[in-house]
Amino acid sequence: MEKALRKARETLRAPRPPLPFHPSYDELLLKDRRRDSEIDDRIRPKKRPLPSKLPPAAEKEVDAIFAKNGPIAKCAREAVNSTDISRMRPGQWLNDEIINFYGAMILERSTGSKENHKGLGKLMKVHYFSTFFWPKLNEGYAKSKLNRWTKKIDIFSKDVILIPVNHGNAHWTAAAINFRRKRIESYDSMGMKRANVLSMLRKYLELEHQDKRKKPFDFTGWTDYVSDDTPQQENCYDCGVFTCQFLETLSRGEEDFAFTQKDMPYLRRRMVWEIGRASLMEQPS
- Within a domain: residue 124? yes
DSSP 94: P
Q: How many domains does the chain have?
A: 1
For 227-278, how does the pLDDT look when each residue is reduced to its tens digit (9 = 90+)?
999 999 999 999 999 999 999 999 999 989 999 999 999 999 999 999 999 9
Residue 171 catalytic?
A: yes
User: Is 37 part of any domain?
Assistant: no
Q: Considering 159, 188, 238, 263, which one is annotated as catalytic?
A: 188
Give the structural domain span for 115. 96-263
Within a domain: 35: no
Name the catalytic one among 75, 84, 171, 244.
Answer: 171
Alpha carbons 130 and 33: distance in angstroms, whole number? 45
CA atoms within 13 A on the CB side of 83: 4
pLDDT above 90: residue 120:
no
The tens digit of pLDDT for each residue in 60-97 reads 999 999 999 999 999 999 999 999 999 999 999 999 99
CATH of the domain at 136: 3.40.395.10
**Beta carbons of 152 and 202 less than 8 angstroms apart:** no
Cα 20 from chain centroid (whole Å): 51
Phi-psi region of 282 (alpha: psi -120 to 50; beta: other; left: phi over 0): beta
Residue 158: how many CB atoms within 10 A of its CB?
19
Percentage helix, strand, coil, to 5, in the chain?
A: 45, 15, 40
pLDDT digits (tens, 9 = 90+) for 251-260: 999 989 999 9
For the chain, what is the mean pLDDT? 90
**Under 8 Å between Cβ of 127 and 162:** yes
The yes-or-no answer on residue 75 being catalytic is no
Residue 107: inside a domain: yes
* Active-site hit among 75, 159, 238, 239: 239
